[in-house]
C-alpha cells in the first residue's frame, strides 16, 4: 500500500527510454517519501523485461494476450484493477504517444486526481507537487492532488534515463487479470513501419542543423559525424542549404519546411533568419555555434558558442564518442 | 453533327462576366502571344493569357481552372503592358480566372495557406503578434506618434505595413524613413497595433473574401482619426489603395514613401552631405511602375533616379531590364509564399535573375523601393554567393545614410 | 455514418500570456483564442470521412471566445450541424469541460457511430477530452490516430495510431468509439473567407444552455507562473577543447548522450 508505482512502457519487446526516465523520477520520489518504488509491467510473455526494471524495488506484473501490445482500453482495465488491489500512493506514467489517454481515462473512471503535462514532481511536506507545462511551455503551473491514489503523466526528456538502466533481479508480484479484460472492444492488430524515402525529422530527438556557415556540401560530413553519435538524430538545414541542394527538401527546417521540436537542436553556422527560427524555436534545447556573436540565433538559443564551428565540432565529436 | 457538350457553370459564370465592356475587349484578343513572351514565368505556365483566352473561346475554361498554372502568375502587369490590343489582362482576365481557381483548389501550397490564415488572424502574413507591430518604435531615436495614444489630427497617416514593421531588414528601412520624415519636418503618425495588412496579395491571388475583410477593417480604423493624406512604405499596399480601395468609396490621397520624399527634394538636398561611393542600379518594382500606371497618370520611374542622383558620390547604372521592362522580383500575386512550390516545379528564381543583371550592369548596390524586395534580393545574393560583390539597400536607407543616419539628428 | 466532432479553443500563444492577479488563472481579458490545432485536424478527418463514406457531421463545443468563427468555418468545410453549449462559466479545466459535454451529448439523443476530437491541447492540465468522455460513456478510446477506416456495415473501424519515429500501430474497434486525432489524413483544407461568410449567413449555431458544472478536477492549481527565461543564450567561451567539454556536460546532464 502507498507505494510509488511507475508504469513500464514497452514497444516490440523493448522497454522504452521514457520508462527509464520515470524510473529515475520515481526513485527520487520514493527516497523523499520513504516508500518502495514498484514498476507496473503489463503484457504477455514479458517476464524477461522485469530485470530491465531492476532500478525499482519490485515489479507488479499482469500478463494476458490482450495486454501484449499497448492498448488504451485493455491497459486501463488492467491498471485500474491493479490500483484497486494494490492501493499505491501514485502511478507515474510517461506522456508518450502510446500511452496517450490512459491516465485521463482512469482518472475519470475512478474519480482520481490526474496531474497531466508534468515536467517534474517534487515533494513538499510529504506531499507531492506537480510542475506542469502549459501553452507550449509559455506558462508553468504548480499543481497538487486533492485525493489518492494520484495519477501523474510526465513528459519525456525531463529526467535522465541512464541512471535507471540497471539490470538486476527484483521480486515480481503477479496479479491475475480481471474478467473485465475480456469486455474490451479494442484489439491490437499490428505494427506498421512506415515506408519512407527519407526519415521524418519531426520525430528525431536530436537535429544537427547546418546553415551557410558550413560553407560547402562536403563540409556537411562534419554534421553527419555528430548526428551519428547521438541517438535518433538527423542532419537538417536552413533554406539556403536546401536551395543549393546540399540536403533534400525533407531536411528543411523553417517556415517553408518542417517545424521541429527535438530534445536538442544543434545549429551550426546558422545565423537565425526569422523564417528559420520559426521552424525550430520550440526545440527543448537549442545550442548554436556561429562565428558571429551578433547572429540572431543567439537570441533564442539556450547556449551559444561564438567560435569557428570547424574548430569546435571535431573536439565535440571526439568527446562525445567516449 | 455532334452533340455539343453542356457548358460548365464555371464557363457560364466567366462568359457572363465577359458581357461587360472590359470583358468584351478581352475577347478581342488576336492570339499574338506577346503576353506569353513577356511573362517572366511564361516558360513555366501551362496556360498563358493567350491560351486562357483561346480555351475560353473553345468552351474549355475548366481545364485552366483545374490546373495549377495560375499559381505561377505574379500579377506583375508585364503582359498587360505589352498587349497590342490593350487588353486588361492583369486587371480583369487574370483575377477572374484566379478567383475561380481559388474557389476550387484542392491542395493549396501550405506556405500560401498559412500566409492567408495568418493575415486574417493577426493582420500580417508572418503570424506575428499584432501587439508587437509598433515594437520597432522603441528603437527609434526620432519621436513616432501612435494615434491610439495621441489621437489629435495629423497631416500624414503613415501606413508602415507588415514587412517594414516586423522583418529585421524592413525595420532598418522603417527607422531610416522615420528619420527622413523627421528631418523634412513632416507631421506624421502611425496606427501601431491598430494597423493591419492593407489587403494587397489576397486580391491578386483570388482570396477576395479576405481582401474585403481587410479593407473593411482598415476603413473602419481610418474613420476614427483625422488626417489629410496617407503615406505608405508598402508598395503593394500603395497599389491596393489605388486599385481596390476606390470600390469602397475611399478617396483619401495616398502616396508611397519614396516618391513622397522625392516631392521634397529641395528640402532634402541640404541634408545629403555624406558622399556614398556606390555604383547603384535601381530595380523598378512592379507596384510603383506597371501596376500603378493603370490607375495613375504616371509611373514612378524618375523619382527614384532623381533621389539617387541627389546623393553625392553615387553613380547610377541601369540594368538591361529596367523601367517598364523591369523583371518582377517574384513576390507578387502570392509569389512571396510560393518559393518552395516554385522550386519544386524547377523554376528559376526571378530574384536571382535580377541580381545577376545588377552585377552585370556593374553595380555594387542594388537599390529597391518595394518592401518585399530587400529580403528576396538579399536571399538571392547569398544563394548566388555574391555577398562580396553587391549589397541590397532600400532608397530610403541610402538617403538616410547620406544624411548621417542616427548621428546627425 | 453519424460523426460527432468535439472542438475547443485554446489560448493563442502568439500573444503574450498574462497571469491574473490571483496567480491561479490566466488573464483572458486581452487574450486571444485559437482553435486547438489538432481539433482542426479532427474536423478535417470527419469531413474527409463524410466525403468518402457519406453521413452526417455534427461539431460541438463549449462556448468560448472566438468559438463562433471556428464553428462557422467547420460549417463552411461541410459540417451539417454546429452546436455550442453555453454555461456562462468563463474558464474551466478540461475534465470539467468533459463533464459538460457528456451531459450535452446525452441530451442530444443521437446515436453517434464515431466521436472524434483532437488528441490533446496545450491547457489539458488535468486530462484530455477524448478519454474523459470515453470513461463517462463507457466507450472505447484510441488516441494519436492518423487514419480512421470505418466499416459501417461491420459496425467496426480500423484506426492507425502513430507511435513516433516512423512506427505506427493499427487497432480494430467496435463502433461507437471515441478517437483522439493526432493528424488528419490530409492537412486541414483552406476555406476561402467568402465561404465562411456565406456560412455565417446561411447556417445557425444551435445553442444548448447548461448549468455551470461543479469542478470536475481533482487537482488544485497552486500557482501559475512564467518559466524563468534568461535573456538570450548563455554564451560558452574558452578554447575549442574547453567549449567542447562544456557542451558535453550540458548534453549529459540532459540525458542526451
Residue A255: the pLDDT is 62
Give the residue ranges of DSSP H helices in B206-275.
208-224, 235-243, 257-262, 265-268
Q: State the residue range of the domain holding C108.
A: 2-209
Tens of pLDDT, residue by residue over B346-405, are 888 899 999 999 999 999 999 999 999 998 998 888 778 898 899 999 999 999 999 999
Distance CA B85, CA C79 (A): 47
Cα-only R_g, chain B: 22
Q: What is the pTM of this model?
A: 0.86
Which residues from chain A sit within 8 angstroms of residue B379, using beta carbons? 239-240
As a whole number of angstroms, the distance between CA B23 and CA A71 comes to 63
**Of A170, A212, A163, residue with least CA distance to A58:** A170
In a domain, C238, yes or no: no
| Residue C223 with chain A: CB contacts under 8 Å | 141-142
pLDDT at B291 over 80: yes
Q: How confident is the model at residue B324 (pLDDT cuts 50, 70, 90)?
A: very high
Bridge partner residues of A253 (DSSP): A258
Which residue of C6, C131, C148, C216 is the best one to mutate when testing the A interface, meaning the one whose CB has the most A CBs within 10 A? C131
- B209 and C194 within 8 Å at the Cβ level: the answer is yes
In a domain, C63, yes or no: yes
Q: Is residue C150 assigned to a domain?
A: yes
Query: ∠ at Cα B336 (B334, B339), nearest 5°?
Result: 105
CB contact under 8 A, C219 and A102: no
Compute how many other C-beta atoms are within 10 angstroms of the C-beta atom of residue B330: 28
Cβ-Cβ contacts under 8 Å between A and C: the total is 273
pLDDT bracket for residue C253 (50, 70, 90): confident
Summarised one tens digit per residue, pLDDT across range C111-124 is: 999 999 999 999 99
Interchain CB distance below 8 Å, A229 and C253: no
Cα–Cα distance measured from residue C10 to residue B78, given in angstroms and rounded to the nearest whole number: 45
| Between residues B340 and B269, the one the model is more confident about | B269
Grid coordinates belonging to C158: 480500423
ipTM of the complex model: 0.89
Phi, psi of A7 (to 5 degrees): -95, 120
Q: How far is C38 from chain A (nearest CA, A)?
A: 14
Nearest to B111 among A212, A240, A255 (CB): A255
In DSSP notation, C222-234 reads EEEEPPP--SSPE
Q: Do A193 and C166 touch (CB under 8 A)?
A: yes
pLDDT tens profile B143-182:
999 999 999 999 999 999 999 999 888 999 999 999 999 9
Residue-wise pLDDT for B327-346, tens only, equals 999 988 888 888 778 877 88
- For the cut 60, the answer to whether the pLDDT of residue B105 exceeds it is yes
pLDDT along chain A (322 residues), means of 10: 96 92 96 97 96 97 96 97 97 93 96 94 94 85 96 87 92 97 94 80 93 84 92 91 82 79 94 80 90 84 92 91 82
Query: Phi/psi at A233 (nearest 5 deg)?
Result: -120, 160
SS3 B298: coil
C195 Cβ under 8 Å from any chain B Cβ: yes
Closest CB to C220 among A116, A146, A196? A146
So what's the pLDDT on residue B341? 80
Q: Residue C123 sits in a domain of what CATH number?
A: 3.40.50.620
Instruction: Identify the residue among A239, A246, A276 best suited for mutation to test binding to B, counting B beta carbons within 10 A and taking the highest.
Output: A239
CB C139 within 8 A of CB C174: no
Indicate if the pLDDT at residue C230 is higher than 70: no
Strand (E) or helix (H) holding B155? strand B154-159
DSSP symbols for C19-60: B-TTSSSB--SS--EEE-HHHHHHHHHHHHHHHHH--EEEEE
CB contact under 8 A, B340 and A296: no
pLDDT per position as a tens digit, A23-33: 999 999 999 99
Average pLDDT, chain A: 91
The predicted structure's pLDDT at residue B1: 43
Task: List for chain B the helix, strand, coil content (%; round to 5).
Answer: 55, 10, 40
Query: CA of C114 to nearest chain A CA: how many angstroms apart?
Result: 14
Residue in A114, A131, A258 to test binding to C, most C beta-carbons within 10 Å:
A114
pLDDT (tens digit, 9 = 90+) per residue, B246-261?
999 999 999 999 999 9
Q: What are phi and psi of C174, to 5 degrees?
A: -75, 165
| Any domain includes C226 | no
C-alpha cell at C232: 538570450
Mean pLDDT of C227-248: 85
Largest Cα separation within chain C, whole Å, is: 72
Partner residue facing B343 (CB), from A212, A243, A278: A243
* Rounded Cα distance, C196 and A161, in Å: 49
Is the CB of C201 inside 8 Å of chain B's CB atoms? no
Q: Give the chain C residue whose CA is nearest to the CA of A206.
A: C256
Q: Is residue C222 part of a domain?
A: no
Residues of C in contact with A112 (CB under 8 A): 218
Q: Around Cβ C156, how many Cβ atoms within 10 Å? A: 17
Q: What is the pLDDT of residue B36?
A: 95
> Which of B103, B121, B129 lies at the smallest CB-CB distance from C192?
B103
Q: Band of the pLDDT at B206, cuts 50, 70, 90?
A: confident
Band (B111; pLDDT cuts 50, 70, 90): confident
What pLDDT is recorded for position A162?
A: 85
Please choose, from the candidates A128, A42, A55, the residue with its C-alpha nearest in 3D space to the C-alpha of residue A90. A128
User: Can you tell me the distance from the alpha carbon of A295 to that of A17, in angstroms, rounded to the nearest whole number?
Assistant: 35
User: Where is pLDDT greater, at B10 or C119?
Assistant: C119
Task: Read off the pLDDT of each residue in B99-120 and give the average, rounded to a whole number.
Answer: 84
Question: Does C56 reside within a domain?
Answer: yes
DSSP designation for A252: B
Q: Which residue of B has its CA nearest to C198?
A: B209
Cβ pair B102:C192 closer than 8 A:
yes
pLDDT digits (tens, 9 = 90+) for C212-228: 777 768 999 999 998 76
Count of the separate structural domains present in chain C: 1
A282 near B CB under 8 A: no
pLDDT digits (tens, 9 = 90+) for A270-300: 988 777 887 887 788 999 999 888 788 888 8
Which percentage of chain C shows pLDDT scores above 90? 74
In this complex, the residue of A212, A244, A256 whose CB is nearest that of residue B111 is: A256
Contact call for C227 and A138, based on CB within 8 A? yes
> Does C244 map to a domain?
no
Among B120, B129, B209, the residue with its CB nearest the CB of C15 is B129
C-alpha cell at C238: 574558452
Q: Quick check: C257 pLDDT over 80?
A: no
* pLDDT band, residue C161 (cuts 50/70/90): very high
The verdict on residue C247 lying in a domain is no
State the pLDDT at residue B2.
Answer: 46
Q: Which residues contact C115 (CB under 8 A, 6 or more apart)?
A: C3, C4, C5, C6, C130, C133, C139, C176, C177, C178, C179
Amino acid at each position: 500500500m502507498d507505494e510509488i508505482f511507475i508504469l513500464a512502457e514497452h514497444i516490440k519487446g523493448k522497454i522504452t527510454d521514457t520508462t527509464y526516465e520515470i524510473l529515475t523520477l520515481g526513485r527520487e520520489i520514493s527516497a523523499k517519501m520513504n516508500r518502495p518504488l514498484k514498476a507496473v509491467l503489463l503484457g504477455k510473455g514479458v517476464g524477461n523485461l522485469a530485470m530491465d526494471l531492476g532500478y525499482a524495488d519490485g515489479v507488479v506484473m499482469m500478463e494476458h494476450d490482450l495486454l501484449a501490445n499497448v492498448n488504451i482500453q485493455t491497459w486501463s482495465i488492467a491498471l485500474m484493477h491493479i490500483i484497486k488491489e494494490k492501493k499505491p500512493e501514485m502511478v507515474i506514467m510517461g506522456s508518450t504517444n502510446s500511452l496517450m489517454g490512459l491516465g485521463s481515462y482512469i482518472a475519470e473512471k475512478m474519480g482520481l486526481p490526474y496531474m497531466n503535462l508534468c515536467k517534474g514532481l517534487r515533494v513538499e511536506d510529504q506531499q507531492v507537487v506537480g510542475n506542469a507545462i502549459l501553452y507550449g511551455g509559455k506558462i508553468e503551473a504548480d499543481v497538487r492532488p486533492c485525493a489518492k491514489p494520484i495519477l501523474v503523466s510526465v513528459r519525456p526528456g525531463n529526467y535522465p534515463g541512464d541512471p535507471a538502466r540497471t539490470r538486476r533481479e527484483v521480486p515480481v508480484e503477479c496479479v491475475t487479470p480481471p474478467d473485465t479484460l475480456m469486455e474490451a472492444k479494442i484489439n491490437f492488430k499490428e505494427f506498421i513501419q512506415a515506408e519512407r524515402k527519407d526519415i521524418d525529422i519531426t520525430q528525431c530527438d536530436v537535429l544537427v542543423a547546418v546553415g551557410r556557415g558550413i560553407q560547402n556540401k562536403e563540409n556537411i560530413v562534419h554534421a553527419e559525424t555528430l548526428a551519428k553519435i547521438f541517438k535518433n538524430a538527423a542532419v537538417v538545414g536552413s533554406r539556403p542549404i536546401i536551395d543549393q541542394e546540399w540536403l533534400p527538401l525533407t531536411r528543411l527546417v523553417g517556415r517553408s519546411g518542417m517545424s521541429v521540436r527535438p530534445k536538442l537542436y544543434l545549429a551550426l553556422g546558422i545565423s537565425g533568419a526569422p523564417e528559420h527560427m520559426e521552424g525550430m524555436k520550440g526545440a527543448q534545447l537549442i545550442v548554436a555555434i556561429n562565428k558571429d556573436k551578433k547572429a540572431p540565433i543567439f537570441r533564442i538559443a539556450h547556449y551559444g558558442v561564438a567560435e569557428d564551428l570547424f574548430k569546435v565540432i571535431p573536439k565535440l565529436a571526439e568527446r562525445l564518442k567516449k | 453533327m455532334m452533340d455539343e457538350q453542356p457548358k460548365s457553370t464555371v464557363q457560364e459564370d466567366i462568359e457572363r462576366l465577359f458581357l461587360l465592356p472590359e470583358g468584351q475587349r478581352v475577347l478581342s484578343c488576336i492570339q499574338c502571344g506577346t503576353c506569353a513572351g513577356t511573362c517572366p514565368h511564361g516558360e513555366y505556365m501551362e496556360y498563358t493569357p493567350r491560351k486562357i483566352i483561346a480555351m475560353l473561346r473553345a468552351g474549355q475554361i475548366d481545364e485552366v481552372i483545374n490546373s495549377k498554372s495560375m499559381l505561377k502568375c505574379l500579377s506583375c502587369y508585364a503582359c498587360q503592358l505589352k498587349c497590342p490590343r490593350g487588353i486588361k489582362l492583369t486587371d480583369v482576365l487574370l483575377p477572374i480566372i484566379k478567383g475561380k481557381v481559388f474557389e476550387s483548389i484542392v491542395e493549396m501550397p501550405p506556405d500560401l495557406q498559412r500566409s492567408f490564415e495568418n493575415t486574417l488572424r493577426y493582420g500580417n502574413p508572418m503570424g506575428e503578434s499584432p501587439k508587437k507591430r509598433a515594437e520597432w518604435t522603441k528603437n527609434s531615436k526620432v519621436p513616432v506618434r501612435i494615434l491610439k495614444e495621441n489621437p489629435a489630427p495629423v497631416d500624414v497617416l503613415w501606413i508602415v505595413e507588415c514587412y517594414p514593421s516586423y522583418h529585421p531588414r524592413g525595420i532598418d528601412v522603417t527607422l531610416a524613413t522615420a528619420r527622413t520624415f523627421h528631418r523634412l519636418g513632416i507631421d506624421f503618425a502611425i496606427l501601431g497595433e491598430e494597423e493591419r495588412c492593407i489587403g494587397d496579395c489576397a486580391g491578386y491571388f483570388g482570396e477576395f473574401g479576405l481582401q474585403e475583410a481587410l479593407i473593411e477593417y482598415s476603413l473602419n480604423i481610418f474613420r476614427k482619426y483625422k488626417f489629410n493624406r496617407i503615406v505608405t512604405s508598402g508598395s503593394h499596399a500603395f497599389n491596393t489603395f489605388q486599385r481596390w480601395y476606390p470600390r469602397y468609396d475611399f478617396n483619401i490621397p495616398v502616396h508611397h514613401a519614396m516618391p513622397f520624399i522625392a516631392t521634397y527634394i529641395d528640402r532634402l538636398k541640404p541634408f545629403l552631405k555624406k558622399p556614398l561611393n556606390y555604383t547603384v542600379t535601381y530595380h523598378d518594382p512592379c507596384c510603383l511602375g506597371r501596376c500603378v500606371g493603370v490607375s495613375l497618370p504616371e509611373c514612378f520611374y524618375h523619382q527614384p533616379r532623381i533621389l539617387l542622383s541627389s546623393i553625392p558620390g553615387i553613380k547610377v547604372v541601369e540594368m538591361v531590364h529596367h523601367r517598364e521592362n523591369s523583371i518582377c522580383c517574384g513576390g507578387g500575386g502570392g509569389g512571396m509564399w510560393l518559393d518552395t512550390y516554385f522550386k519544386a516545379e524547377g523554376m528559376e528564381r526571378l530574384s536571382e535573375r535580377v541580381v545577376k543583371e545588377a552585377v552585370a550592369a556593374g553595380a555594387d548596390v542594388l537599390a529597391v523601393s518595394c518592401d518585399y524586395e530587400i529580403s528576396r534580393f538579399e536571399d538571392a545574393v547569398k544563394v548566388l554567393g555574391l555577398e562580396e560583390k553587391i549589397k541590397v539597400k532600400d532608397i530610403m536607407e541610402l538617403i538616410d545614410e547620406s544624411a548621417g543616419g542616427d548621428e546627425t539628428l | 455514418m453519424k460523426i460527432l466532432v468535439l472542438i475547443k479553443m485554446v489560448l493563442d500563444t502568439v500573444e503574450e500570456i498574462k497571469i491574473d492577479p490571483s496567480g491561479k488563472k490566466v488573464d483572458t481579458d486581452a487574450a486571444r483564442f485559437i482553435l486547438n490545432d489538432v481539433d482542426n485536424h479532427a474536423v478535417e478527418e470527419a469531413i474527409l470521412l463524410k466525403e468518402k463514406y457519406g453521413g452526417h457531421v455534427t461539431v460541438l463545443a463549449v462556448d468560448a471566445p472566438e468559438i463562433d468563427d471556428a464553428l462557422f468555418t467547420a460549417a463552411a468545410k461541410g459540417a451539417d450541424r454546429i452546436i455550442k453549449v453555453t454555461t456562462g462559466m468563463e474558464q474551466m479545466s478540461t475534465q470539467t469541460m468533459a463533464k459538460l459535454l457528456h451531459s450535452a451529448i446525452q441530451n442530444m439523443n443521437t446515436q453517434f457511430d464515431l466521436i472524434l476530437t483532437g488528441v490533446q491541447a496545450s491547457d489539458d492540465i488535468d486530462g484530455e477530452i477524448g478519454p474523459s468522455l470515453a470513461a463517462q460513456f463507457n466507450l472505447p478510446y484510441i488516441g494519436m490516430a492518423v487514419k480512421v477506416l470505418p466499416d459501417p456495415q461491420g459496425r467496426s473501424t480500423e484506426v492507425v495510431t502513430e507511435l513516433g519515429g516512423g512506427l505506427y500501430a493499427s487497432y480494430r474497434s467496435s463502433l461507437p468509439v471515441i478517437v483522439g486525432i493526432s493528424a488528419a489524413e490530409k492537412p486541414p483544407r483552406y476555406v476561402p473567407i467568402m465561404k465562411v461568410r456565406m456560412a455565417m449567413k446561411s447556417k445557425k449555431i444551435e445553442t444548448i444552455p447548461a448549468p455551470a458544472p461543479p469542478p470536475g478536477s481533482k487537482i488544485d492549481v497552486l500557482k501559475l507562473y512564467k518559466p524563468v527565461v534568461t535573456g538570450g543564450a548563455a554564451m560558452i567561451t574558452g578554447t575549442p577543447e574547453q567549449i567542447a567539454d562544456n557542451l558535453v556536460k550540458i548534453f549529459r546532464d540532459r540525458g542526451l548522450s
